[in-house]
Amino acid sequence: MKKLTLLIFISVLLSLSAFSQYLLTVDASANYIGYDSKRELIYATIKGSDATYANSLIAINPYEGAIVENIFIGSEPTEFVFTTDSNYLFIMFDEQPVVKKFNLNSFSIAQEINLGVDPYHGAYYGKSMAVLQNNDSVVIVSRKQKGVSPDFGGVAVYSNGIKLPWETQDHHGPEYLVNTQNDTLYAYQNDFFVLHVSLDSGIVVLQEIDDLGLENAKYEKGLIFDDHGKIVDPITRAQKGKISLNDDSGFQTYAHQADSMNNKIFFSAANNGNPNIDFYSYNRTTYGSMHKYSIPDIIPSGYSTPAVSQLIRFGKKGLATTVYDSYYFTEEAPFIAILNNSSFVDSISAPDTSELAQLSVLDTVYTYEHITVYDTLDVYNYVTVYDTTHLSTTDTLIVYKTTTNVNGNIIKSDISLYPNPASNYINVEITNSNVIENHNIKLYNTLGELFFDSQLTSDLLTIDISSYSKGTYILTLTNNWGQKIATKYIVVK
């Protein structure tokens, strides 16, 4: 059994040529790490073989290298995912057929979700997960079965601990979920999949296309990135570009993390026979190489085949990567290297747009100057405001309802659809009546053929779908400039 030493490495660049390092180690056998920006902590799930923190979740202060909290959570905890409010984690286990919901405010287990049992192959275990924006009661789980090949057990949606009826087939399908935090998400394994989540029924596969060859894929601001340097546009379902990494021979391994606020894609790398860990940055727009930063002689001499698996961003200037020996029979300890380097990573700063806008929060109107609004309506159905006047440059204000500028023009609104799936009719309800004037509802099939087009006259519209063929349809709300305000999916059964 591998022993993991959690190695926290903080470096400060004193000048362009000076390299200064402060090395802290924490003896912990971690399976998975993630950064909590709300509490400025790195969490890690710990293997059962660890002498001190076996089968626990630990919280680490990355600036001091101290374990500030730990709790036993169950047998062999693995991957976890944050809810979008950062109040909970959903945690999977290798030796328990459950997902546990963990309250980060009380640092305690809040709920245990049983993943169910296959009548032929026994209990389901978690393989990968996704969550929905602004909904901490729902988790989407790709499941696996032990002792079966292939081990894929289908994807299911669990709401308040209860599995919804619709799930994908087992043995072949969307094994590795790409977490978009939206009701449309993506997955891969052999093929690339587009999935739709319905809180009434469960999950369906909207589209399956040829394999894009993704590995450890992550979604960030409208694009999918992976450890091979591939950039995929999930709307067109096609590769948009590729980072030219230094070594595709297999002797060097990479882990990635995209960062839209810095307009960069970061990679960590470990090379067979090299005692260094290297960090690379690339331009997120042009994919061009920017900088390289090396931590010298950090890999133990006993490593046979050093490799990296995870890379995460933390704080204003931090990167953390997991390092291990991929040689199966190794006795050497894996570790995590954490780099805090202002010159290489850069601090997050919002550009000055010299605009004036008003934001209404809890009946209080705030007037902002010098803000940038990142509009992600087609993906998340919310907007993010980065403000350098009233907030610090690292703060993020999430607006879930309506944002207006000083002229009162609507930027955002929500649509509710019910019933969905449906067979005879679908109700379309607009939750903000201000968007009704000069806005249109359109309904397309997945081939792009227009089935319905009507201007809004009230906040509730009923569409007759009794003559529609079974399948998935795309509903869009557009303004009088033709700009898409919202997109929803309808399943006709």
DSSP codes, 154-220: EEEEEETTEE-SB---SSSS--EEE--SSSEEEEEESEEEEEEEETTTEEEEEEEE-----SS-EEE
Question: Residue 452 sits in a domain of what CATH number?
Answer: 2.60.40.3580
One domain, residues 183 and 303: yes
One domain, residues 423 and 375: no
One domain, residues 158 and 232: yes
Which of residues 307, 323, 345 is at a domain's end? Answer: 345
- Best CA proximity match to 132, nearest among 86, 90, 183: 183
One domain, residues 247 and 366: no
- Determine, yes or no, domain membership for 98: yes
Alpha-carbon gap, residue 430 to 433, rounded angstroms:
6
- Determine, yes or no, domain membership for 350: no
- Best CA proximity match to 245, nearest among 280, 284, 294: 280
> Strand pairing partners for 323?
308, 335
One domain, residues 421 and 465: yes
Q: Cβ atoms within 10 A of the Cβ of 478, count?
A: 17
One domain, residues 378 and 441: no
pLDDT of residue 44: 92
The model's pTM is 0.69
Strand 191-198: give its sheet, edge to edge. 176-178, 184-189, 191-198, 202-209
One domain, residues 373 and 231: no
- Determine, yes or no, domain membership for 410: no
* Domain coverage including residue 425: 415-492
pLDDT of residue 271: 86
Alpha-carbon gap, residue 160 to 345, rounded angstroms:
39
Q: In sequence order, what are the residues at sequence separation of 6 or more whose Cβ sits closer than 8 angstroms to the Cβ of residue 62?
A: 8, 10, 35, 40, 41, 42, 314, 315, 318, 320, 338, 340
One domain, residues 103 and 183: yes
Number of domains the chain contains: 3
pLDDT of residue 228: 92
> Strand pairing partners for 270?
253, 277
Alpha-carbon gap, residue 317 to 10, rounded angstroms:
11
One domain, residues 317 and 427: no
One domain, residues 394 and 421: no
List per-block mean pLDDT (blocks of 10 residues) for the chain, which spans 493 residues: 37 32 64 92 89 91 84 96 95 97 96 95 95 95 93 95 94 90 90 92 90 91 93 90 75 86 90 86 91 83 86 86 77 74 56 38 42 36 40 38 37 69 88 64 83 87 91 79 70 85
Q: Cβ atoms within 10 A of the Cβ of 446, count?
A: 13
- Determine, yes or no, domain membership for 351: no
pLDDT of residue 295: 80
One domain, residues 287 and 390: no
One domain, residues 307 and 387: no
